[in-house]
Amino acid sequence: MLISIINHTGGEIQDIEVQEAVRAINRQIREDFAPVWGMSATLRLEGRSALTPDTTVMADMRGDAVIYLWNESDVDDAIGYHLQNYAGIPYGFVFTRIAEQLHEPWSVTLSHEAMELIADPETNLLVMGPHPSENRQVFYWFEMCDAVQNDRYEIDGIAVSNFVQPLYFTGTRATDEPGARNDFLGEAHNGQTLASFGINPGGYIGFYDPILQKHETYTRRDDPVALKRLEIKGAMKLARRAVRYQSGDRREMMQRDVMKRMPVLAARRARGAAQRVEYRAVETEMP
């Protein structure tokens, strides 16, 4: 799999910074993730046909999937851009403003999105497991990083995300492979390492409840970091992978709502681009 990275941060993150992160994450995927999961991909930074994401050409996106670096927090605008240009292509977003609110380096978010895009590009995989608080079965989202997303480590000085390992989704470690790892770092929290279908501090899990017939998210009790993370991510609407687990009708309804707003969003982007050009012109004329 080739994952195109498109930098639409308006110069907030320079391409050289993105290249350094891409190199580190490609090494993470190749040396840490692929040997465990047997799945791999290569990230590649692409070009931009325009200074701002108002128009584009297909040459901007050459891979099997795409992750956008986006400096604004206008999620509808970002999703509208994707639907208008690359509808049907598996995608992810790294919103730098949201990463700042989470006090998380954007490279960690990029690492997180990349590994989850590799494992479940269409967000249509679920794994049966025990309900976190009741004696019955539910279907967990096949997410690589949500449960451990407050954990990170560095590769070549670049922060990247921790991720779960295959036994995490089996629930049989105690009987089949005592002492085996459920996540890459394997760090203990309050004396305990991550349990199968468990959650580390600051993380959360999502699942489909067949009894209630809806998707749920779940955090550790009294975990303000995880609750804050869910609150901030809740504003991301359709950009969240969690929303794409919803029914096709629900997704189509949300996409139609965004597309109806496209003329307004396009006008807003055009005004912003004009203001930036005017500012650059004034700045250039200054002695």
Q: Are 79 and 258 in contact (CB under 8 A)?
A: yes
Q: Kindly state the DSSP code that residue 261 receives in the 8-state scheme.
A: T
Q: Give the model's pLDDT for residue 252.
A: 55
What is the C-alpha separation between 60 and 50, in angstroms, rounded?
10
What is the C-alpha separation between 18 and 259, in angstroms, rounded?
30
Residue 43, beta-bridge partner list: 3
Closest CA relative to residue 72, chosen from 84, 63, 80? 80
Closest CA relative to residue 208, chosen from 141, 125, 280? 141
What is the C-alpha separation between 277 and 170, in angstroms, rounded?
54
Residue 218, beta-bridge partner list: 205
Q: Give the model's pLDDT for residue 73.
A: 57
The residue to which tokens 């975990």 are assigned: 223
Q: Give the model's pLDDT for residue 103.
A: 85
Q: Kindly state the DSSP code that residue 171 receives in the 8-state scheme.
A: S
How is the chain split into domains, by residue range?
2-285
Q: Are 72 and 272 in contact (CB under 8 A)?
A: no
What is the C-alpha separation between 207 and 142, in angstroms, rounded?
9
The residue to which tokens 């993380």 are assigned: 203
Ranges of the chain with pLDDT below 70: 49-60, 72-87, 172-177, 232-287
Global pTM value:
0.80
Q: Give the model's pLDDT for residue 174.
A: 61
Tell whether the torsion through CA atoms of 6, 32, 208 and 123 is positive or negative.
positive
